[in-house]
Structure 1
Amino acid sequence: MKYYMKFACDITDVLKIENIDTINLVKAPITLQFKTIKEGRNLYEADYIKVCDYIEYVINNYGDRKYYLDKFDRDYFATL
């Protein structure tokens, strides 16, 4: 966790942008992974092939789970 905070501070200093989030997407929920791929910006990638493989994995995995995620949301909000 400490490493990510220092990394975010360093990026903020270099890019002069205040709104930067750093997270380990591999450990994040699939919905956040998908949203980040869909709406985020890639600042750096060391291995283009690995990044493409990861994006493909997330898109396929999200597509497989979307029905159940939507059903959970509908059921959850119906009980409120």
Structure 2
Amino acid sequence: MRLGVFAGCFLVLWGLVYVGALPRGLGDSNLLWVLLLSIVISAPLSFVLLRKQRDAMSAQIVDKVDTAKARLEANRTREDSVTQ
């Protein structure tokens, strides 16, 4: 999804440079200029636009970690009860 946000920013900025709304850069650095500007703009946009997906992924990771901790604790208690 972040790649899609970056690609969208790149296309919009490329269009703005093409029509002359943004400077073309220095000499042949046009592509580099648009790439760097796309990175700078897409980073905060991704942070805001993909918040729900990031929170959902974080919840999934927390659930998996809690499940793994519970399994580890169950194995540890089972091992302790067998050795006693």
- Give the alignment's TM-score, normalised by structure 2: 0.32
Write 1 or 2 for the structure with the bigger share of helix: 2
